[in-house]
Amino acid sequence: MALPPFLSNIIGWLRAGYPEGVPESDYVPLLALLTRRLSDEEVDQITDALVDLGDLPVSKTDIAVMITKVTNEMPLEVDVDRVRSRLAAGGWLAIDPPP
């Protein structure tokens, strides 16, 4: 299934911010940032696409577990800031700015 253009754009920004793929240490803060702006279904579509593209070297089941973890445990602000900086460097300025 083709993604809507705005989700394809988000994947482009993520790939620009993480040209070598998303490191494991950024999975949870990245998902936390995505869930602030996107619906659960949209986050699922993006993570599925990133897994399929090889940018998230984990299974879709692992991603589902991580999403559950995000909803139950917020990441450290320092981790969110690190991910936000990487995404901003890739051109994604739509993430909530730091307080």
Residue 99: pLDDT over 60: no
DSSP string computed for 14-78: HHHH-TT---GGGHHHHHHHHHHHS-HHHHHHHHHHHHHHTSS-S-HHHHHHHHHHHHHSPPPHH
Q: What is the pLDDT of residue 25?
A: 80
- Which of 4, 88, 96 is CA-nearest to residue 41? 4
Report pTM: 0.61
Total number of domains in the chain? 1
Indicate the pLDDT class of residue 94, thresholds 50, 70 and 90.
low
Query: Is 61 a member of any domain?
Result: yes
pLDDT, tens digit, 9 for 90 and up, residues 22-46: 887 887 788 777 887 888 889 888 8
Q: What is the pLDDT of residue 20?
A: 84
Indicate the pLDDT class of residue 92, thresholds 50, 70 and 90.
low
Q: 31-49 burial, b for 16+ CB within 10 Å, e for fewer?
A: bbbbeeebeeebbebbbbb
Q: What is the pLDDT of residue 56?
A: 75
Query: Is 47 a member of any domain?
Result: yes
Q: What is the pLDDT of residue 53?
A: 83
Write out the residue range of the structural domain in which residue 81 sits.
Answer: 25-89
Query: Is 20 a member of any domain?
Result: no
Give the total residue count for the chain: 99
